[in-house]
Amino acid sequence: MAIALPAVGFQPAYPQLVESVSVSRSGTKAMAFVEYADAYWSIQMRTKPLKASERLLVEAFKDACRGGLKTVLYTPKHMCLPRAYWGDAGNAALANAGNLVSITGNQLAINSVDNGLTLGAGDLISATVGDYNSLFRIQSGGVAAGNAITITVEPAVPSYIAAGAVITFKNPIANMRLLPGSFSIPDEPKPVATFTLVEIPK
């Protein structure tokens, strides 16, 4: 069963897409670029200074992760809303999850959304199929009409996300795991804990 992040304050941290690309060179000149593995998300988490009671929660979270063997349900703490709704988190357009109708390359056709839903470049959304949760960053968005919207996203949509997936616009979810060896918390008053999360399918 997946676990949640500890209920403590976190400093601003933003998911970064890690691209696995190799470069062939002739001397110092780049000749060819080859993607040799799928892109994935990584995020460097930092807590706010912890009270003694909060430190216990963070250490319990570390133990529950079992060195990366357990999945962590991650929701971006500082990018949890599309930009058009900053300051308007209760907007009704965000309450309804969308339904993924089709995938064409990196283009997603989504229906069952409120007319007027506005999504733009840089916004984060997630797609869920069963226990699979994948995070995407919008490259080109638009405004929903006819209860539908078409967007382009990165990274490429993995094979386990298919038509019928639930699309979340507010508080998107990603499956992550603790990167082994990345957790650190100093022995001092009001410590700041740091750790790295990396994306996995489920």
- Whether the pTM exceeds 0.95: the reply is no
Residue 109: give its domain's CATH number: 2.40.30.290
Within the chain, strands assigned E span 3-4, 16-26, 29-46, 72-74, 98-104, 107-111, 118-119, 124-129, 132-140, 142-143, 148-154, 166-168, 174-178, 194-199
Q: State how many domains the chain has.
A: 2
Peptide bond connecting 6 to the previous residue in cis, omega within 30 degrees of 0: no
Query: 83 lies in which domain range?
Result: 79-172
Residues 87 and 160 placed together within one structural domain of the fold: yes
Residues in the chain: 202
Band the pLDDT of 78: cuts 50, 70, 90.
confident
Residues 158 and 87 placed together within one structural domain of the fold: yes
> What would the pLDDT profile of 140-178 be if each residue is shown by its tens digit?
999 999 999 999 999 999 999 999 999 999 999 999 999
